[in-house]
Structure 1
Amino acid sequence: MNLYTVNKKTERSFLLPTIAFIIILSYVQCTPKHQVASSFQAHTTADDPNKGLKDYYKKYFPIGVAVSMASLHGPDSALIVKEFNSITPENDMKMGPIHPSEDIYNWKNADKIVDFAVSHHIKIRGHNLCWHNQEAAWMFKGADGKPVTKELLLRRLKDHIFAVAGRYKGKIYAWDVVNEAVDDSDDTTQIYRKSNWYNICNGTDFIEAAFRYAHEADPQAKLYYNDYNSEHPVKREKIYKLLKKLIEDHVPIDGVGMQAHWKLYEPSADELRKALDEVTSLGLKVQFTELDITIRMPQPKPAPGAAPPDATSPPTPDPGYTPELEAKQIAQYKMAFDIFRQYKKFITNVTFWNVSDRSSWLDGRAGGLMGGAAAGGNTPRITKKAYPLLFDENRQRKKAYWSVVNF
């Protein structure tokens, strides 16, 4: 059709869309900034109501999401089934919640999550088998209340892994076996976190043991070491040393989970590529296991000698999800997924940590400023939205969604 031919038919065909656009524009201009940024969708050629993230990435890798029991009902469950083909239990398989005392296992929630996934033909990642946070305190104490021996601790770890991984054998295709065992400081001489596991074992034997136990419990499951800040140069090198040692010791490990709790300004593209290149050079696969990108920027540090704010100081105003912050988030998501696709040969899963901005663990964690590891039970609660995901508070696709799928 010649778009410049003017007749009554074409006038009518252009008049109605023009009126509709004016109405939408008027609505946008009269809507608060944070609402516009979070819910307005530009038309794109990729907008297919029958497709979800999993469909756009069918030729690349599974797209997953972390779920709680609340996610299995109502609008969240429908969104999960439409958009994702992998799920991770957010908290219900961690050692403390699932195994609170030596002879008690809480299977109810984990079973329901697994049943939901199986009934909808969704893959399941297990999270996690050994961690210093949300741990089972009883594991480290004997009947006399004193710390247990290394031998008893490893025996208890084996029993736990055989019980949990064994129960879901054949249903869970991959496990985060050991979580966050590497030290997070910039001290290059301190490689490992001084956790209860490390201290009682007087070293890292628990890491190797956990992988061997998991492989025995379910030989078909893929086994991952999972950590955050994996792209930061100092920690990246520490993780590399751990992985290299595990491989040299013939420990059954299949890959690395990079948690990807990221910010608007980090990691850079170069940092991300460097981390991927180091891991894949060892012959390991990569999963991005806990992806979210908070919009919260760090607060400026007080001037030297200035008194810190006291408890009565008014809180920093929350600007909401402004167009400026939205644009930075869109760019960061686009950068990340552009690189993910380039490394599709090595990436076997990308999982978002929570379903939508309606409820993110970051909203209650230091105002969403902190990246790092997924929150434990003692995390400070400060109500400040982080808007870190691809779906807004109404579970609608954000503009960041289209930056991920338009390629």
Structure 2
Amino acid sequence: MKKKGFLVGSILAILCAFVFGGAFTLKKKETAELKLKNAFEKKFYIGTALNAEQIMGNDAEAIKVVKAHFNAVVAENCMKSGMIQPREGEFRFALPDRFVEFGEKNGMHINGHTLIWHSQAPQWFFTDNKGHDVSREVLIQRMKNHIAAVVGRYKGRVHTWDVVNEAILDDGSWRKSKFYEIIGEDFIKLAFQFAQEADPEAELYYNDYSMANPGKRAGVVAMVEKLQKQGVRIDGIGMQGHIGLNHPSIEEFEKSIVAFSDLGVKVMITELDLTVLPSPGQNVGADVSANFEYQQKMNPYANGLPDSVSKAFNERYLQFFKLFLKHQDKITRVTLWGVNDGSSWRNGWPVRGRTDYPLLFDRKNKPKPVVKSIIQLAQQ
């Protein structure tokens, strides 16, 4: 009897080990295979920007990452006015069409970027055939025609639009762009009105960088409040997340999330990347026109990151994702500005020829250790 009992006990022990051990292994495997978009399900969209090579399907490995980890996409460049309408009436929709089709085919949230922006706008927008500034009426009509054509083409297909990009300076004053100089402050009101007319169902956003700066925060809040009083519909504010290892402060970034949400609009983190490189100048923000001469000391990690910098990088990303999760009731989307380190604009801005490591996937499209940490954070 004693021997028989021992035998039965051994069999039960083996069965338990198989069942519970197998379940543990399965759970461990499921956790390891969990993707970003699944981890943030029911919290907010997790998105990425696509470049031309990715949209065309020429970067197959990057596309695998996009399909596996992201459920929202934005076109990095091909929908900007200078790219989509380089000459008046000459629209180049081939690449934007492919972008929208990719998003639809993969069931993704599609964001259009950007309708009105002083940078990467075609010169013809602002001048006549003699090179002189056009009248206020002419520029307004050109804005209307452009927005109607682009938004109208993708009506019901592009879910959200960055209608106006970067109209406020860091001190809260208006950027003296050609739109502002020729039309005045009304150019923003008109842009949102034209976009709403072209697609009443699409959500319409204002997007800007350095939004954690107190001056810019106050300026954007004042602008939006004024537009709201005029009856202009603004659905959300995009906070470009171009951050560094030491700036901006988490506290100031959080103040802006709360301040913008208090306006009764949605908040998006629209262009998230984390540079590990030294800044060559003060108050550069994310001004694409900034350009500094290459110096070797400004490119310290050409052959890889030291462990100390990798650790700081991981901790910094986790701090921000903790903040995003804390305010998931306000934030509807977090979008990385690129798929992998190799395709990031940070390698060429504001100094050309540098090697940066700003994204969640490395140059071989492998997830960095912080990806697993972010997924675990989202599951808590």
| Coarse TM-score class (shorter-chain normalised) | 0.7 to 0.9
Q: Distance in 2 between matches of 1:300 and 1:281?
A: 33
Corresponding position of 1:246: 227
Q: Which moved more, 1:140-149 or 1:123-132?
A: 140-149
Corresponding position of 2:209: 228
Where in structure 1 are there 5+ consecutive unaligned residues?
A: 1-43, 302-310, 368-381
Q: Indicate whether 1:400 and 2:344 are aligned.
A: no
Q: Indicate whether 1:67 and 2:37 are aligned.
A: no
Higher helix share: 2
Q: Which moved more, 1:317-326 or 1:102-111?
A: 317-326
Corresponding position of 2:118: 132
Amino acid of the residue matched to residue 195 of structure 1?
S
Q: Confirm or deny: 8 A CA contact 2:110 2:158 kept in the other structure.
A: yes
CA RMSD of aligned residues (A): 2.4
Superposition deviation, residue 209 in structure 1? 0.2
Against the structure 1 CA distance between its residues 363 and 313, is the aligned structure 2 distance closer, same or farther, given a 3 Å change threshold? Answer: closer
Amino acid of the residue matched to residue 91 of structure 2?
Y
Q: Distance in 1 between matches of 2:28 and 2:250?
A: 27
* Deviation string, structure 1 residues 275-319 (Cα, Å, up to 9, x no partner): 011101111110111100111133699xxxxxxxxx897555523
Q: Distance in 1 between matches of 2:262 and 2:218?
A: 13
Give the one of 193, 197, 200 matched to 1:216: 197
Corresponding position of 1:270: 251
Against the structure 1 CA distance between its residues 175 and 46, is the aligned structure 2 distance closer, same or farther, given a 3 Å change threshold? Answer: farther
Q: Confirm or deny: 8 A CA contact 1:264 1:293 kept in the other structure.
A: yes
Superposition deviation, residue 346 in structure 1? 1.3
Alignment of 1:96-245 (within 5 A): 96-184=82-170, 186=171, 191-201=173-183, 203-245=184-226
* Deviation string, structure 1 residues 229-265 (Cα, Å, up to 9, x no partner): 0001111111111111111111110010001111111
Against the structure 1 CA distance between its residues 169 and 231, is the aligned structure 2 distance closer, same or farther, given a 3 Å change threshold? Answer: same
Superposition deviation, residue 335 in structure 1? 1.1
Against the structure 1 CA distance between its residues 143 and 137, is the aligned structure 2 distance closer, same or farther, given a 3 Å change threshold? Answer: same
Q: Confirm or deny: 8 A CA contact 2:35 2:375 kept in the other structure.
A: no
Q: Distance in 1 between matches of 2:216 and 2:320?
A: 19
Q: Confirm or deny: 8 A CA contact 1:363 1:386 kept in the other structure.
A: yes
Give the one of 326, 338, 347 matched to 1:363: 347
Aligned partner of residue 341 in structure 2, secondary structure: coil
Against the structure 1 CA distance between its residues 163 and 264, is the aligned structure 2 distance closer, same or farther, given a 3 Å change threshold? Answer: same
TM (normalized to structure 1)? 0.79
Q: Distance in 1 between matches of 2:268 and 2:239?
A: 6
Amino acid of the residue matched to residue 224 of structure 1?
Y
Q: Which moved more, 1:44-53 or 1:394-403?
A: 44-53
Alignment of 1:277-292 (within 5 A): 277-292=258-273
Q: Confirm or deny: 8 A CA contact 1:100 1:136 kept in the other structure.
A: yes
Corresponding position of 1:383: 353
Amino acid of the residue matched to residue 265 of structure 2?
L
Against the structure 1 CA distance between its residues 178 and 46, is the aligned structure 2 distance closer, same or farther, given a 3 Å change threshold? Answer: farther
Q: Distance in 1 between matches of 2:270 and 2:225?
A: 21
Q: Confirm or deny: 8 A CA contact 1:46 1:406 kept in the other structure.
A: no
Corresponding position of 2:17: none
Against the structure 1 CA distance between its residues 315 and 272, is the aligned structure 2 distance closer, same or farther, given a 3 Å change threshold? Answer: closer
Superposition deviation, residue 121 in structure 1? 1.1
Q: Distance in 2 between matches of 1:395 and 1:153?
A: 43
Superposition deviation, residue 90 in structure 1? 0.4
Q: Distance in 2 between matches of 1:46 and 1:333?
A: 24
Corresponding position of 2:321: 337
Amino acid of the residue matched to residue 173 of structure 1?
H
Against the structure 1 CA distance between its residues 230 and 316, is the aligned structure 2 distance closer, same or farther, given a 3 Å change threshold? Answer: closer
Amino acid of the residue matched to residue 152 of structure 1?
V
- Percent of aligned pairs with the same amino acid: 38
* Deviation string, structure 1 residues 17-40 (Cα, Å, up to 9, x no partner): xxxxxxxxxxxxxxxxxxxxxxxx
Q: Which moved more, 1:89-98 or 1:229-238?
A: 229-238
Alignment of 1:311-350 (within 5 A): 315-316=297-298, 318-319=300-301, 320-350=304-334
Q: Distance in 2 between matches of 1:80 and 1:165?
A: 25
* Deviation string, structure 1 residues 364-404 (Cα, Å, up to 9, x no partner): 1134xxxxxxxxxxxxxx21112001111111111221232
